[in-house]
Chain A
Amino acid sequence: MSTYVLVAGNAGVSKLVAAAVELGGPVVAVVVGGADLAQAAAAPGVDRVVWLGEPGGKAAEAFAADVAKLVAADPGTVLAGRGPAERALLGAVAAAIAAPVVTAPVEIAPGQVTRGLVGGLALETRRYDGPVAIAADGGAPLAGGGGATVEQVSANPAAVEVTGLRPGRAAADLGSAARVVAVGRGLKAQADLPVIEALAAALKAELGCSRPLAEGLDWLPRDRYIGISGQQISPRLYLAVGISGQLQHMAGCRDSQLVVSINTDPDAPIASQSDYILTGDLYALAPALTAALG
């Protein structure tokens, strides 16, 4: 029985390949995207690369039915990243093979997956008798170097066309950022955002925020919101500024390697979940930190 890794326009699936190798069986990378992406997918650990051909103007989602048919011919557990195209392909496969769907896995073993519940409040382990569809953090980009050859298969994509790309505002990529500075309600006004932006720039970090700033106050775009229904990230450094650290927020950053908090309340929940705690006024501490980094 094969184990599948779905690759949709983006080679960042190293963690999925590693998990697939653990699950055993031939690891099949199913690639929707250009020829170079298919080449990149032929990385160590990948036994077969099945490529659906040049997409032309089609969106990756157009190939969902093709991918589903391909997996349904030899059903097995399927892993995909958390992006919209990856989820589209994974959903089609799950429907085609009537597989249960698992998100936020923390441990994947043959026939058994442990996942976080309610944004990571609790853990649950389930046993599965058949294939499972798993959406998970993809990991670093593959860069070829494995032994597999690319097998091209014919596709019959749906009428889903990419009709334009307007540069300018692009989705923030907090997921792959090594450092993230996140700001919360401790910031008094939107006009004060430059204080935090300067700190993020000095740290070479992406800027994130808690939910109220993105949904409610609208001080920052939604794709920068970290929490249970926003981005779930695990950077090397997470610097929380003016964030109290409610559970719903921490669910989005609990896997960060190092957590630093700047907050006025020494007893806010964030403090007990920080490696370094700076208690005080963010308007004094953030600029001081920016200066120390410069």
Chain B
Amino acid sequence: MRIVVLHKWAPDPQEATVGADGSVDFSRAKAAVSDYDAVAIQCGRQLADAAGAALVGVSVGGEAAARPVATKSALARGLDEVVVVSDPELEEAGSARTAQAIAAAVAALGDVGLVLAGDSSVDVGARMVPAVVAGRLGWPVLADVDSVALAGGSVAVERLAPEGVQSISAALPVVIALTSEAVKTKAPGMKDVLGAGKKPVTVKSLADLGLTALSEGAVTSRAKLGGPARKGVVIDTSDPAAAAAELVDALRAAGALA
């Protein structure tokens, strides 16, 4: 059996800047394996070791996704091999397009029992890709999962629901999106770094996978977002008790208190 981990080579949104015209500039942002995907890779490694499965990374993106530094960064975290769908068409792909490419790559691999994903990508954070991948594969998806265990042909997961900790069991194959609770990530060690370049990498284009275009709408406008106008009332705090009383009065007047 293969266990697939979805991972994204994503720029750090902390470094993104927004122009006055609403264009988002990531050119100064350093790319890395998206934070939560590191959780999925490490969790996948543990599951694959326990089940004797191969751990395959699947990544989708533009030209940068297939750069050796991108694939080695993911491999150093514990994957056995990586399949990258890299295509200029995927440069700013949304969840639907991304999922289409991932699902095709997973289907092409064959013998996949489990697809693991992180909670969300650091740069977009839509949290929709695992669900659309599952839809395309016709498999169930479980998101917000805090722990996973494989047992024979099924998977047992736990997640936090409003009513408490929910246990769910699902027959394989299944797609699972993990929270950062699933495992505490560890930085790759020096041997992992040196070994990463020796592992297999397969790069495919959309044409290789026989995928046709999928419309994600046409951008008609962009704008920089300003927050709602705030009152900006500065409360004198030289006497904390008086400041607190003043604030409570203001909140009560605004109907913000219970």
B13 is contacted by which of A101, A228, A259, A285 (Cβ under 8 Å)? A228
Decide if B214 is an interface residue (CB 8 Å cutoff).
yes
Q: A165 and B163 in contact (CB under 8 A), knowing A87-B131, A95-B99, A276-B250?
A: yes
Decide if B125 is an interface residue (CB 8 Å cutoff).
yes
A275 is contacted by which of B125, B165, B231, B237 (Cβ under 8 Å)? B231
Decide if A128 is an interface residue (CB 8 Å cutoff).
yes
Instruction: Evaluate contact between B142 and A84: CB separation under 8 angstroms.
Output: yes
Instruction: Evaluate contact between A132 and B217: CB separation under 8 angstroms.
Output: yes
Instruction: Evaluate contact between B256 and A127: CB separation under 8 angstroms.
Output: no
Decide if B187 is an interface residue (CB 8 Å cutoff).
no
B contacts with A: majority SS? mixed
List the B side residues contacting A248 at CB < 8 Å.
13-14
List the A side residues contacting B228 at CB < 8 Å.
254-255
Decide if A38 is an interface residue (CB 8 Å cutoff).
no
Within A184-226, the residues touching B (CB, 8 Å) are 203-204, 215, 221-223
Within A259-278, the residues touching B (CB, 8 Å) are 259-260, 266, 271-278
Q: A92 and B134 in contact (CB under 8 A), knowing A135-B128, A163-B167, A275-B233?
A: yes
Q: A103 and B141 in contact (CB under 8 A), knowing A121-B225, A162-B166, A258-B254?
A: no
Decide if A250 is an interface residue (CB 8 Å cutoff).
yes
List the A side residues contacting B16 at CB < 8 Å.
118, 121
Decide if B107 is an interface residue (CB 8 Å cutoff).
no
List the B side residues contacting A271 at CB < 8 Å.
232
> Which of A20-28, A29-37, A137-145, A167-175 touches B?
A167-175
Q: How many residues of A contact B (CB 8 A)?
A: 99
Decide if A151 is an interface residue (CB 8 Å cutoff).
no
List the B side residues contacting A158 at CB < 8 Å.
140, 170-171
List the A side residues contacting B103 at CB < 8 Å.
95
Q: A122 and B160 in contact (CB under 8 A), knowing A99-B96, A274-B230?
A: no
List the B side residues contacting A125 at CB < 8 Å.
219-222
List the B side residues contacting A18 at CB < 8 Å.
none
Shortest Cβ distance from A248 into chain B, in angstroms? Answer: 6
Shortest Cβ distance from A177 into chain B, in angstroms? Answer: 11
Instruction: Evaluate contact between A276 and B235: CB separation under 8 angstroms.
Output: yes
List the A side residues contacting B221 at CB < 8 Å.
124-125
Shortest Cβ distance from B147 into chain A, in angstroms? Answer: 12
Decide if B123 is an interface residue (CB 8 Å cutoff).
yes
A91 is contacted by which of B128, B247, B254 (Cβ under 8 Å)? B128
Q: Which residues of A contact B (CB under 8 A)?
A: 59, 61-62, 64-65, 68, 82-84, 87-88, 90-96, 98-101, 103-104, 112-113, 116-130, 132-133, 135, 158-171, 173, 178-179, 203-204, 215, 221-223, 228-229, 236-237, 246, 248, 250, 254-255, 257-260, 266, 271-280, 284-285, 287-289, 291-293
